[in-house]
Structures are given as structure tokens and as C-alpha cells.
Structure 1
Amino acid sequence: MDQGDTQGEGRMERKKRETRQKIVKVAMELIQRQGFDSTTMEQIAEEADIARKTLYNHFPVKEAIVDEYVRGASKGLARETLSNLYKLPDTKTRLLETLDKAYEWVEFNPEIVGITLGYRHKNMCRGPGYSGGETGTQSIMAEIIRLGQETGEIRRDISIKRLVMQLDIMRGAVVMDWLGDKSRFELRKEMAKIVDLFINGAMQRDGSKV
């Protein structure tokens, strides 16, 4: 966690954060060792040496624990990408770099990504209190689009939030399709096509018909 995230943090807030981190660590170790379906909330509480009530106060279901783990990984990847972002020449290159790095991680972690997406889709209509906040990939895409608008590459009459949402919808659909049958296409190559679609649109550029 960044130092800036904990500045001004009181004792209770620190204890709560440390407990959540411990739960996530223990739960993911159990899941990686014996599988998601075989891991129960009771096992997680016992292994973390906390009361079940404490566990449920932090996470209502084990899917929420996996979601927090994925969000943490996403923020870590975003921090790594951000350090190199401003050296890249344009919006398309920045998006390609960001999504390639993010979906390389997804390719290695398909099961937990599927669990996370299912959990998020189930909660997306329940209001902002259930969303878990902005992911690392969303934050880095917002910064890329902001830079693109600043340099005139990206139109300014559509908000950054709306443009990020459009990218989210497209990349989410691709991931769900890939999770259904990973042999049909290469995920990172398909994401590169999504970036091209976002930047250039769907019209055939050379005038030919397919």
C-alpha cells in the first residue's frame, strides 16, 4: 500500500486495514492450495485466527475476498505502468501497454478473474456502495484519456468517465467470451483490437469490403 494511503490513519483504521489484508492473504493461500469451491468462510476465519463474525464484518462472501485481491493486483500493475506512461508517445501506445500488462496477468489467473467478474456483475446494479470503487486499470485508463484530451488526440465533448466506461464494456465482453472458451482466440491480441476499435472506430479505413 502506498504511504499516502495511510497518512492520517488512526489506530482503529490501521487495525481494520491490517485485518482485511490478513484475511485476503490467508484466503488466497487456501484457495490456491485446495481450490475456491473447497474453501469455506469458516476455514478462512479459523486459519486467520479471527471470529467468524469479524470475517463477515469485513467480507460478506468469499467472492468479495477474491475481488479485493484482484483489485490489489490491479492497483499494483497500474503503479508499475504509471512510471513508464509519460514516456510513451501517444494514446494508442499507452492503452496497448496498459492493457497488455493487465491481461498478461489475467491469462495467468483465469479462475479468480472469472469469480471476480461474476461477483461484480451481480452487484453492479446495487449502487456505488457495492462497487468496491475504481480499479487500478480504470484509474490508469482515465489518466491516459486525460492526457489524450490534453494533447487533442481524444475528443473533449465526452467525459473521461464515459469514455472509460465504454472501454470497460468492450474489454469486459472480450474477457467473458475468452473465459467461456480460451482456445478460440488469444486474449491480449484481442485486447489490441479493442484499443484499435476505441481509437479508430469500426469503419473500414482502406475502402475495401470484407
Structure 2
Amino acid sequence: MRAKTLMRMFLVPTAAVSLGACGVNSIPTAEEEVNARWADVQNQYQRRADLIPNLVRTVQGYAAQERNVLTEVTQARARATSVQINADDLDDPAKMQQFQQAQTQLGTSLGRLLATVEAYPDLKSNQNFLTLQSQLESTENRITIARSDYNQAVQAYNTRIRTFPDMIGAKVIYGAEPKVPFQATTPGAEQAPTVDFGNGQ
């Protein structure tokens, strides 16, 4: 009887340490970190999508003849908000690419809209427009930071599920698959843009 008790006292802690060393706790923790960082990315994209109707309404009053640009922004926003990714899709490269492309198209359309506004001096000095422009700029910065944080969490998770001893628990217990990081989807995005002020230098 005493031998069984001693055996249990030895086996329970040994089993706990063994399971812990195999990623039983660390894999879900790392995956939840990825999910939380993904929620931050979605939150910032939603912030941008919420600001766009206000920007479009503000610009419409001044730039009536620029309907095609305004329409393009509105359509791009609709496409971007229709492509939804949840935590279960973070290991699907095709879905992630579709989401990234929709968000990139929206960003490009916003850039065209803001560039078009240069032709409207009254709009450029309008306080509502300046506030919205500042909010969008801030949102773009937040999106960049959120995507960077997400990529760091993905890297930590992917490394954990591929290294010993956590890879044992990752494959055997959880069937873990690598998560997909954000990547540049705009051709040439890896190169810095050339700034030309028209002075030939």
C-alpha cells in the first residue's frame, strides 16, 4: 500500500513536468497570443472602415466632380469589410492573402482620394477634413504596429510548434499548423519610393 502511495507521489509530478515540457500549456498560450494580436489587427482595420464614410461625406461637399474616386473608395471599403478572417483561418494562406489584398486595395483607394483632395484648397483647410485626415493617418500607423505585433506573435508560435520538446505536444495533442504572417501584397513594396520634387536631382 505504501509503495503505491509513493509511486503515485512520484508519477504525478513526473507526468506533469513531462506534459509541461511537451507544450501542453505553452502551445495554447502562444496560440491565444496570436489570436489576441489578430484581434488588434481587425480592430484597427475596423477603425479605418468606420472613418471612411465620414471622410467620403466631408469630401463630397467639395469634390462633387470626383465621384469616381469617391465611389472607388466606397466600393473598396465594402470589399474590405466583406472579407472576414477569424482565428480558425489564420493558418490558411489563401484566405489570408484574400484579406490582405482587400485591405491593400482599400488603402490604395484612400491614397488616391487624399491625393485628389490637393485640388481643393477650401477642403484642405476645413477643420473636419483635417481631423479626419489626421485620424486616418493615425489609424494607418496603428494598423502597421498591429500587423507587426501579429507577425511577432506568429513567429513565436510557429517557432514553438516546430522546436523540441513543444513540437511533440503541438503535433500529437493539438495537431497545430503554422499561422500565416502578414506579407507585403503591393508589388515593389519592399523598395523605398523615390521622392521627386521636379528639380531634376
Question: Structure 2 length normalisation: TM-score?
Answer: 0.28
Higher relative contact order (CA 8 A, sep 6+): 2
Larger radius of gyration: 2
